[in-house]
Amino acid sequence: MKRFTIIITFLCLITFASAGTLFVGLEGSAPPTFSTDMSGFPNVTWDPHYSFDVSGAAATPDGILYLCEGSFTTHLYEASLTSSPQQICTISEDIHSLAYGRETLWGFSNYAATKGIYSIDTTTGVATLALDVYSGYGFLFFALDYNPLDDLFYGYTEYGASGLYSINIDTGEMIQLTGSIPASNGQGRGMAVGNNTVYLTATRGDDGIPYFAYDISQGTGGTWVEFPNPYPAYHSTGGAAYIPDPITTIELSGHVVGSDQPEIGLEGCDVTLTGDESYQMLTDANGDFVFPEVEQYDDYTIEITLEGYEIYTETVAVGNQNINLETITLSETAIPASNVIAVVNDENTEVTLSWDSPATREFEIYDILRFTEDNNQTPALWELLTSITETVYIDTEWEQLEPEMYQYAVVAQYTNGIEAEAAISNVVEKNPVFNPPQNFVVDPATGLATWDPPIPSPGVTLVGYDVFLDAQMFSTSETQWLFENLINGQIYTAGIQAVYDLGSSDIMELDFEFTGTGVNGIIINKTELKGNYPNPFNPTTTIYYSLSSINTNNSEVGIYNLKGQKVKTLKITQSGGEGSVTWNGTDSNLQSVSSGIYLYKLIVDGKTVAMKKCLLLK
């Protein structure tokens, strides 16, 4: 819902502009009464009226004046600016000031058994205590009135902590706004409140003391503003009342269109205007509405509704001039995307995002945003990734993100800048990525393994490397490792993995055949059975082998028949390297064996290293 505020022709309270008439009178010997419309404030002009003894005065919103006279027996009168006062009752308590508010006449009594603010029945004159503001504070209010704008009493006291006070009409709580009027005699015996302003009528006009005004919007600590006293020759107390101008009306109108077709008026919009009074109508075929009689000087809320559009709400401050709100645009209802699903691939390198498009509206584009789960209520921290028209998006930057819980938002953007609510995805976890080292190689001539550091991955810190050779593991922080004590001609499996603070990478492996020398430059041969020659043979054949210099003790070649029976043992006496033994076709008793297939085995430390066949032909 979009909200706007328009301030239209309101009262300038700081300059006390007029929206009513200030009425004043004095007590004793029926002096004349005066009034002013406050034009040209502070240089106001006073107009005289009838003569009357006024000790207190108050006015109703429709212009009725209540006047009271009497020192210890208070008579209540009803009058207007143009009609003379007529007595209507005698008030049961002595009253020194009057106020009108909440459709009730109030008065302050300084001589009743309980001093305070009384409500007054204007038919019977019965005064009932409403607020005992004396017992708690000890103040006497000869000047009192009610302000309808904030629903508070305002009173002025010249006793004790003298000055201007607001008085809560329900609780009696008092707050001092400012001190005494800036005059040698600080008395103020008449008060009227209007235009959110206190008008205080001071006594002793013959001493040259003016009247004073206080703008309530100043709050506490404000200043009094002087204006002329119409009684320069009088020396007495009196009362004052503020008569608001009669309530009049203005015309309020406007024209309603939709954001989808702003050139065409919207018919049938429900338009309501709510304030002290309420008004309602539908827009016509052209999208126009007119409220011909709207009461002035009130704040209204205008609300416009039509199916398919968002509710439009606006606050309008109504003064005394007609108001044309001109063209009001209702925003189309922006339907969001739905069923937003985020899926991380098996390699943890990207996320596929998919969603269902709004079925009933056309739009221009989707905004795709990404954020951490703990920021899903703070759109200002969401990162805009792209804007697309498709309903699938692949986040290829996922691999570079810090390990965290993430979500995505899809925001459908419509014509005329209309934006739908964000559709939020499920939560997906970015696990740490442990990249392996790069370019792992082993020099077969030296056994030196080298590699390059892994590609940096966000959120993890490289600690070092684990290097593997067959079943052995070594650790280092360098980018090379020399495998030692390798055997010439033997095939090895080497491996490398990166070690991080949060885990380790996969192991990269490679096989290599060592072609170099061992310790002190000595070639360490591979233990193996190479074969025999000639084959077939008669009667003699040579059997070739190689022995590792690391383990050459108790080596022999055993001759077996096909039944697995040992025929002869040929002892090996060398310490290592390549060698051979000769079999002359005899058994251990030096007897010739018969023709056929025989098996010969290379045996080291009682273990058979290899076995091959040979054929004896006679």
Regarding whether 158 and 268 lie in a shared domain, the answer is no
Joined tokens for residue 203 = 């006594």
Final residue before a domain boundary, out of 189, 223, 244: 244
Regarding whether 380 and 325 lie in a shared domain, the answer is no
Query: Does residue 164 lie within any of the structural domains?
Result: yes
Query: Does residue 507 lie within any of the structural domains?
Result: yes
Regarding whether 566 and 536 lie in a shared domain, the answer is yes
Instruction: Supply the CATH number for residue 449's domain.
Output: 2.60.40.10
Final residue before a domain boundary, out of 429, 459, 492: 429
Query: Does residue 492 lie within any of the structural domains?
Result: yes
Regarding whether 499 and 542 lie in a shared domain, the answer is no
Query: Does residue 1 lie within any of the structural domains?
Result: no
Distance CA 271, CA 289 (A): 8
Distance CA 154, CA 168 (A): 9
Query: Does residue 464 lie within any of the structural domains?
Result: yes
Regarding whether 501 and 537 lie in a shared domain, the answer is no
Q: For residue range 336-386, what is the model confidence (pLDDT) as tens digits?
A: 899 999 999 988 889 999 999 886 556 679 999 999 999 999 999 999 999
Residue 605: how many CB atoms within 10 A of its CB?
Answer: 10
Regarding whether 34 and 158 lie in a shared domain, the answer is yes
Q: At 248, which amino acid appears? A: T
With H, G, I as helix, E, B as strand and everything else as coil, classify residue 381.
helix
Q: At 602, which amino acid appears? A: L
Distance CA 464, CA 434 (A): 12
Spans of the chain, pLDDT less than 70: 1-18, 70-72, 204-206, 359-363, 416, 518-525, 549-553
| pTM over cut 0.75 | no
Regarding whether 358 and 316 lie in a shared domain, the answer is no
Question: What pLDDT is stored for residue 362 in this prediction?
Answer: 61
Final residue before a domain boundary, out of 229, 244, 259: 244
Regarding whether 283 and 188 lie in a shared domain, the answer is no
Regarding whether 412 and 443 lie in a shared domain, the answer is no
Distance CA 432, CA 404 (A): 9
Largest Cα separation within the chain, whole Å, is: 171
- Sequence-ordered list of residues with C-beta below 8 angstroms from that of 607, at least 6 positions apart, any chain: none
Domain that holds residue 176: 20-244
Distance CA 341, CA 355 (A): 6
Q: Which of 54, 240, 37 is nearest to 156 (CA)?
A: 240
Regarding whether 199 and 79 lie in a shared domain, the answer is yes
Per-residue CA distances from 136 to 133, 140, 171 (Å): 6, 12, 12
Regarding whether 418 and 487 lie in a shared domain, the answer is no
What is the residue-wise DSSP string for 262-276? TTSBPTT-EEEEESS
Distance CA 287, CA 258 (A): 10
Question: What pLDDT is stored for residue 549 in this prediction?
Answer: 64
CA-only gyration radius of the chain, Å? 54
Query: Does residue 501 lie within any of the structural domains?
Result: yes
Residue 227: how many CB atoms within 10 A of its CB?
Answer: 18
Regarding whether 281 and 139 lie in a shared domain, the answer is no
Query: Does residue 10 lie within any of the structural domains?
Result: no
Number of domains in the chain: 5
Distance CA 266, CA 362 (A): 20
Query: Does residue 7 lie within any of the structural domains?
Result: no
First and final C-alpha spacing in the chain: 111
Instruction: Supply the CATH number for residue 63's domain.
Output: 2.120.10.30
What is the residue-wise DSSP string for 55-94? SEEEE-TTS-EEEEE-SSS-EEEEE-SSS--EEEEE-SS-
